[in-house]
Amino acid sequence: MPYTAAHWGSYRIDRDTGTLLPVEGDPQPSRIGKGWASASRDRDSRIMKPAIRKGWLEGDGGAGRSGDRYVEVSWDEALGHCASELTRVRETHGNGAIFGGSYGWSSAGRFHHAQSQMRRFLNLAGGFVGARETYSHAAAEVLFPHILGLSNRAFQDEVTAMPSVSGACEIMLAFGGISPRTAQVASSGTSRHEVAPWLENLANGKTRLISVSPRRGDLERAEWWAIRPGTDTALILALCQEIIAAGRANEDFLKRCTSGYDTFRDYLAGKTDGTAKSAEWAADICDIPADTIRKTALELTEKRSLISMTWSMQRGDHGEQPIWAGLALAAIIGQIGLPGGGYAFGYGCTTPVGRPTRLIPWPSLPQGVNPVSDFIPVARIADMLLNPGSDYAYNGETRTYPDIRLIWWTGGNPFHHHQDLYRLEKAWQRPETVIVNEHSWTATARRADIVLPATTPLERDDIMMNRRDPALIYMSALDAPIGEALDDHDIFARLAERMGFGEAFTKGKSSAEWLEHLWERAGKVAEAHGFALPDFETFKAEGRFDIPDEEEARIALSAFAADPEGSPLATESGRITLFNEKIAAMGLADCPGHPTWMPPVEWLGAAEDGMLQLVSGQPDTRLHSQNDRGSESLSDKVQGREAAYLHPETAKANGLTEGDIIRLSNQRGACLAGLRFDDGLRPDCVFLPTGAWYDPQIVDGVLLEVHGNPNALTIDKGCSGLSQGNIAHTCLVRVEKWDRPLPALSIDRPPIA
């Protein structure tokens, strides 16, 4: 049976109809998959031939790198430009002038993973400046090693398995909810979506579910605490303080398993800043009644309670604080390491977090070694381009931004994912050359000088093997490549050949031979885990292999909590740090040595009249900007624009009705969107999902994003000098009716001259 797979699920291929059917045994196939094939086949958005930007050919130095037209060229000509630019920049400025961070969620296949292919190529070409961490959870990635002694990845691997939660948890305080919307996705692919059935089970069981979120829909059938966005830290500090003040802190756990409690306790009590972090104090900040906070604080200590947080919590200003405070609260309650208790990070954010599946480190394409050690924290891209040579703080270091002359991006969409895209637009004009491999005319492809058309995952064979998934899938091509598109591997293989290191890049293997080679290596991994894989031909013919005895129970931090001396954490004290000496010694005003409430740069507590909080979460119908031109995403638009959600009362007060086109704006930018109502949204918020293809145009003399991309409005600033993570969820906007003629989209047709 032919199969294929994506980050949003696995599919059987029906050759008779040329369609995709959800894989057997998936309890809740994703909505996203419905729009995949149509997006891949959309000739208006696919890149058919290599293309060069006109202004670049005319030597505009990058000034015209938005809204320009393209000329189609042969592969030979396009690759010739790539090779000579790469050589010129290397020889003139060195490999440290090449940015290959190339963040993004390209294919779920192990071999045709765009970034891996590009990095293998650039490493052989002398290296590149890379990017650290992710847009998803940079603050956690930098913070957790300090306070937990674990990488975010290692902690994610041991998050308590979902069945152990349903069996034992009595109160779950879920910050940001837990949503089947985001659980549609798994980085590197999935064969099952089991979060929705798990939530159903929880809601029907004995667990009291409390969802702390500006949107009721983030956790259906839960008690809803409609918190003012960006204020979770204050709420959590008050929960801590009320527990301590009532004499209910778990002193035994704190003594055995934490360090720095006394300093944190003094801060909570107001000894260091004169303000006790009481329920009343937090109530004013968070808009949650003091009584509710106080009562729940005590209840958390009386029952088996779990503090669960979504990743969104840390994609905000001072994003380190809520997740650190949440861990501190769990420590004060003292149930870390027990089934159904303690601390969790990421349930529902992707489908595998908390999945009771044993983890198997499947092989991937070897990328080689990067001779250039320089990097940036991933979300500092615009700062880097605008300020070469300037210093910035990062995780205890003072680092210097490199001077980038050439950008190469493959498998990511910065003009989707970055904040304040008007600013990125200016920064993006700085480099001498931008090369992008893409299958579609995304906003980033439209801002490249040399555009190399790639195949989609539906146009090639590959293997899905995700260390967190119970199935392995042989991905068979559904369609032939469109136009002149080539696999990223073949693009880089041809270029490597041209530049004299073809053999080193391909190792003399064809793509099919690489797949077989990866499968052989996978066989050795399986053997070490006590089972055998079928031979390659059998796997290819059967399309799917299910891992035997896959279940494995896991309780986060249980070994440590049971024996902190015998299984210490790799922190400065061997224990969870509630005050961290090393972070304190960094002397960062925006990330002190213990969890601290600091108002965000923008928030409703200090907003002008009429400003609303923009919540730009993940879209239900797509993966970020992927498949935006597919049927499922298009069917959800309003007058062809992304739908923004307002509380009906807010809409009424602003003279708006459902179906209207609205304009969202602030000092940074403006965008249009189509209006829908949601009475489960805080009335002072507007929800606009990410991912509508960025389409800025000059309308009546002013720049206006006309499609509904929230990153026309968001703030481009780091969480703090510790992590420099993005702060996408910290943003205020105004909303008004758009009653002028609706400008036509430009991203629905190719930018060919």
The distance of closest approach from Cβ of residue 298 to ligand MGD in the complex, given in angstroms and rounded to an integer, is 21
Q: Is 439 in the site for ligand MGD (CB under 6 A)?
A: yes
The distance of closest approach from Cβ of residue 134 to Mo ion in the complex, given in angstroms and rounded to an integer, is 6
Q: Is 650 in the site for Mo ion (CB under 5 A)?
A: no
Please choose, out of 96-104, 130-138, 216-224, 363-371, the segment that lies near Mo ion by the rule CB under 5 A: 130-138
Binding test (CB under 6 A) with ligand MGD, winner from 156, 618, 650, 666: 618
**343 close to 360: Cβ distance less than 8 angstroms:** no
Tell me the residue type at 16: D
The distance of closest approach from Cβ of residue 218 to Mo ion in the complex, given in angstroms and rounded to an integer, is 16
Q: Which of 58, 16, 7, 61 is nearest to 36 (CA)?
A: 7
Q: Is 729 in the site for ligand MGD (CB under 6 A)?
A: yes
Which is closer to ligand MGD, CB of 238 or CB of 728? Answer: 728
Please choose, out of 94-102, 135-143, 252-260, 461-469, the segment that lies near Mo ion by the rule CB under 5 A: 135-143
The distance of closest approach from Cβ of residue 413 to Mo ion in the complex, given in angstroms and rounded to an integer, is 12
The distance of closest approach from Cβ of residue 561 to ligand MGD in the complex, given in angstroms and rounded to an integer, is 26
Q: 616 φ, ψ to 5°?
A: -115, 75
Which is closer to ligand MGD, CB of 277 or CB of 624? Answer: 624
**DSSP-assigned states of every residue in 202-259:** HHHTTPEEEEESSBGGGSTTSEEE-PPTT-HHHHHHHHHHHHHHTT-S-HHHHHHHEE
Active site residues: 103, 105
Query: How distant, in Å, are the alpha carbons of 308, 318, 364, 586, 595 from that of 322?
Result: 11, 8, 34, 19, 8
Query: How distant, in Å, are the alpha carbons of 35, 317, 322, 602, 725 from that of 599?
Result: 40, 8, 12, 8, 17
Segment (H or E) for 300: helix 290-302
Q: Is 633 in the site for Mo ion (CB under 5 A)?
A: no
562 Cβ contact list (under 8 Å, min separation 6): 337
- Quick one: how far is CA 602 from the chain centroid? 22
The distance of closest approach from Cβ of residue 383 to Mo ion in the complex, given in angstroms and rounded to an integer, is 20
- Cα(116)–Cα(726) distance, rounded to whole angstroms? 23
Please choose, out of 10-18, 222-230, 282-290, 533-541, the segment that lies near ligand MGD by the rule CB under 6 A: 222-230
Residue for token digits 């790469």? 86
Please choose, out of 59-67, 209-217, 699-707, 743-751, the segment that lies near ligand MGD by the rule CB under 6 A: 209-217
The distance of closest approach from Cβ of residue 421 to Mo ion in the complex, given in angstroms and rounded to an integer, is 17
- Cα(681)–Cα(206) distance, rounded to whole angstroms? 26
Which is closer to ligand MGD, CB of 338 or CB of 623? Answer: 623
Query: How distant, in Å, are the alpha carbons of 30, 464, 669 from that of 186?
Result: 11, 11, 32
Q: Is 108 in the site for ligand MGD (CB under 6 A)?
A: no
Angle at 697 between CA 696 and CA 699, to 5 degrees: 135
271 Cβ contact list (under 8 Å, min separation 6): none
- Binding to ligand MGD (CB under 6 A) within 289-318 occurs at 310-312, 315-316
- Cα(407)–Cα(433) distance, rounded to whole angstroms? 6
Which is closer to Mo ion, CB of 123 or CB of 136? Answer: 136
Q: What b/e string do you get for 242-271 counting C-beta neighbours within 10 Å, with b at 16 or more?
A: bbbbeebbbeebbeebbbbbebbbebbeee
Q: Is 136 in the site for Mo ion (CB under 5 A)?
A: yes
**312 close to 214: Cβ distance less than 8 angstroms:** no
Please choose, out of 76-84, 134-142, 373-381, 410-418, the segment that lies near Mo ion by the rule CB under 5 A: 134-142
Q: How many residues bind Mo ion (CB under 5 A)?
A: 1
- Binding to ligand MGD (CB under 6 A) within 23-42 occurs at 32
Which is closer to ligand MGD, CB of 215 or CB of 423? Answer: 215
From the list Mo ion, ligand MGD, none, partner contacted by residue 641 (C-beta under 5 to 8 A by kind): none
Q: Is 10 in the site for ligand MGD (CB under 6 A)?
A: no
The distance of closest approach from Cβ of residue 714 to Mo ion in the complex, given in angstroms and rounded to an integer, is 15
Residue for token digits 């006394």? 262
438 Cβ contact list (under 8 Å, min separation 6): 47, 410, 444, 445, 448, 451, 452, 453, 454
- Binding to ligand MGD (CB under 6 A) within 361-420 occurs at 410-413, 416-417
Footprint of ligand MGD (CB under 6 A): 32, 104-107, 112, 114, 135-136, 175-176, 181-182, 184-185, 212-215, 218, 227, 229-230, 232, 310-312, 315-316, 349-350, 410-413, 416-417, 437-440, 442, 454, 457, 488, 615-620, 623-626, 690, 710-711, 714, 728-729
Binding site for Mo ion (CB under 5 A): 136
